[in-house]
Amino acid sequence: MEWETVIGLEIHVQLATKTKIFSGSSTAFGAEPNTQASAVDLALPGTLPVFNENALRMAVMFGLAIDAEIGKRSVFERKNYFYPDLPKGYQTTQLAEPVVGRGHVDIELADGRIQQVRIHHAHLEEDAGKSLHEDFHGMTGIDLNRAGTPLIEIVTEPDMRNAEEAVAFARKLHSLVTSLGICDGNMAEGSLRFDVNVSVRPKGTETLGTRTETKNLNSFRFMEEAIELEVERQIDVIEGGGEIRQETRLYNGDTKVARAMRSKEEANDYRYFPCPDLLPIVIDDAYIEAVRATLPILPAQWKATFVEQYGLSEYDASVLSSNNVQAAYYDQVAKSCGDGKLAANWVMGELARLLNQHDTDIKASPVSAEQLGGLLTRIKDDTISGNIAKKVFEAMWLEGGSADEIIDAKGLKQVTDSGAIEGIVDQVIASSDKQVEQYKAAEPDKRGKMLGFFMGQVMKASGGKANPGAVTGILKQKLDALCD
């Protein structure tokens, strides 16, 4: 039988606020255990939560970016369960009235297909602390620094049909929340965590199969592996005459093995009720519009601009628009040199190569967009060739300075003066008897290919400074004259 996979995702996004959702404790990563856990975070008696405006603003930004309905009234509820890293005995979250309603994210697949993934809703909630299960004399260690860190949990509709689509969505979401500046996107530190709901059904049928949920995937690769493994397992179970149990599973990316959590670990009876400690959150149109005015240019908008304005391919435009800093950098380079394709080649080529080599990212690039734009302008106006430009670029990277300063200081200006080039060409022809004879002996339509040798010699003799276009013309003319 042919099977169809159905995937929905739940994503926890840690918001990049300075403080916790309900207290003034810092959310900075990596502090000593429990040094950022205040009386409120520890749920000491008599404490009360006070809601962080910035968490609300970031959630609304996300909602606007996915074209969602914004909940003008949203309500915090208590989700009750006992675990030592949840000191209150409940998680403060939203259920019936979330801050972000239905929206959508469009993803682009390898074959160029655009697919819409519907977002069911996104709600605000608090993160739990961390349990350390290393051996503390048979006890568990609890660090509550993370307790109360603001999260939005984003819930998709089951709109994805394979691991590729799920990963494309995950990457798109990552790019979106980092571009918005509402999340640092550091998956290794748990800033973005994916839960994957997977089920299978006979192809062509409508009813959804029983799903399982694989929790806390913190890399795109693990997500892909976990989905593929789970789909295979479900098909094996069903084809072997068995039934899928609705369960929560854990995937270990190091051992590549998944297992079901014991039912005791789940006990899903959360007895939600509205939190009496928090009043309803009410926002008006003016607030929403003020937030909308602060939205940065988003990847999809950058991409459209790059395709329309600079004539880039969909692929190049996708790569360059995937993060905001890179998109803005590229846009400035393209504007400054007036050639979008040349700018794209350099930002994705030389610049990316050096950034990679020095293990840094574009935010910290020693060459600014103005500097690179200035350099490309000098390629455009034939002051230097592309090869010389690479040397100028490296000098710029190491020593700073503008393209013009470096070109002047190092005497790299391209020779376009035909008299000077003719001189070099004559020299090369005079000292290459053998190659000249071969050229003359060749069929006229093969001669074009043989120019390469002479080109190389001329460029070498000029220190790379001769204008390649001018050299080709003069060489051809002089060599062909010898053949008559």
Partner 1 sequence: MALERSDVEKIAHLARLQIRDEEVPGYTQTLSDILALVDQLQATDTTDVEPMAHPLDAVQRLRADVVSETNQREQLQSVAPAVENGLFLVPRVIE
Give contact residues for partner 1 (rule: CB under 8 A): 17-19, 23-26, 32-40, 42, 44, 50-56, 75, 80, 82-84, 97, 131-133, 136-144, 267, 269, 271, 274, 276, 278-282
CB of 119 vs partner 1, minimal distance in Å: 24
Tally of CB atoms within 10 A around 46:
5
What letter does residue 138 receive in the DSSP assignment? T
CA 444 to chain centre: 52
* Residue 306 to residues 65, 322, 326, 470, Cα–Cα distance (Å): 19, 12, 12, 32
Rounded CA gap, 102 and 67, in Å?
8
Q: Using the minimum distance from each CB to partner 1, give the nearer residue, 276 or 411.
A: 276
Q: Using the minimum distance from each CB to partner 1, give the nearer residue, 50 or 109.
A: 50
Q: Using the minimum distance from each CB to partner 1, give the nearer residue, 148 or 374.
A: 148
CB of 277 vs partner 1, minimal distance in Å: 10
CB of 66 vs partner 1, minimal distance in Å: 23
Q: Please enumerate in sequence order all residues whose Cβ is within 8 A of that of 105, keeping only pairs 6 or more positions apart, or say none.
A: 66, 116, 117, 119, 169, 172, 173, 176
Q: Please enumerate in sequence order all residues whose Cβ is within 8 A of that of 148, keeping only pairs 6 or more positions apart, or say none.
A: 20, 21, 22, 23, 25, 40, 41, 126, 127
Q: Using the minimum distance from each CB to partner 1, give the nearer residue, 60 or 227.
A: 60
CB 98 within 8 A of CB 123: yes
Q: Using the minimum distance from each CB to partner 1, give the nearer residue, 132 or 328.
A: 132
Rounded CA gap, 36 and 213, in Å?
32
CB of 263 vs partner 1, minimal distance in Å: 14
Q: Using the minimum distance from each CB to partner 1, give the nearer residue, 37 or 180.
A: 37
CB of 55 vs partner 1, minimal distance in Å: 8
Rounded CA gap, 468 and 238, in Å?
67
Q: Using the minimum distance from each CB to partner 1, give the nearer residue, 50 or 482.
A: 50
Q: What is the dihedral of CA 392, 395, 396, 402, to 10 degrees?
A: -60
CB of 59 vs partner 1, minimal distance in Å: 12
Closest CA to 397 of 361, 355, 347: 355
CB of 363 vs partner 1, minimal distance in Å: 22
CB of 82 vs partner 1, minimal distance in Å: 6
CB of 38 vs partner 1, minimal distance in Å: 4
CB of 219 vs partner 1, minimal distance in Å: 23
Sign of CA dihedral 86, 92, 95, 98: negative
CB of 222 vs partner 1, minimal distance in Å: 21
CA 331 to chain centre: 17
Q: Classify burial at 458, counting beta carbons within 10 Å of its beta carbon; exposed 0-12, middle 13-18, buried 19 or more.
A: buried
Q: Using the minimum distance from each CB to partner 1, give the nearer residue, 83 or 315.
A: 83
Q: Please enumerate in sequence order all residues whose Cβ is within 8 A of that of 4, keeping only pairs 6 or more positions apart, or say none.
A: 161, 200, 201, 202, 203, 204, 205
Most distant CA pair in the chain, distance:
103
Token reading at 365: 């690039």
Q: Using the minimum distance from each CB to partner 1, give the nearer residue, 84 or 469.
A: 84
Q: Using the minimum distance from each CB to partner 1, give the nearer residue, 215 or 390.
A: 215
Rounded CA gap, 301 and 280, in Å?
34
Which DSSP string corresponds to 152-187? EEEEE-S-B-SHHHHHHHHHHHHHHHHHHTS----T
CB 89 within 8 A of CB 129: no
CB of 133 vs partner 1, minimal distance in Å: 6
Token reading at 324: 């905001």
Residue 288 identity (one-letter amino acid): I
Query: Hey, which residues does 108 pair with through a beta bridge?
Result: 114
What letter does residue 294 receive in the DSSP assignment? T
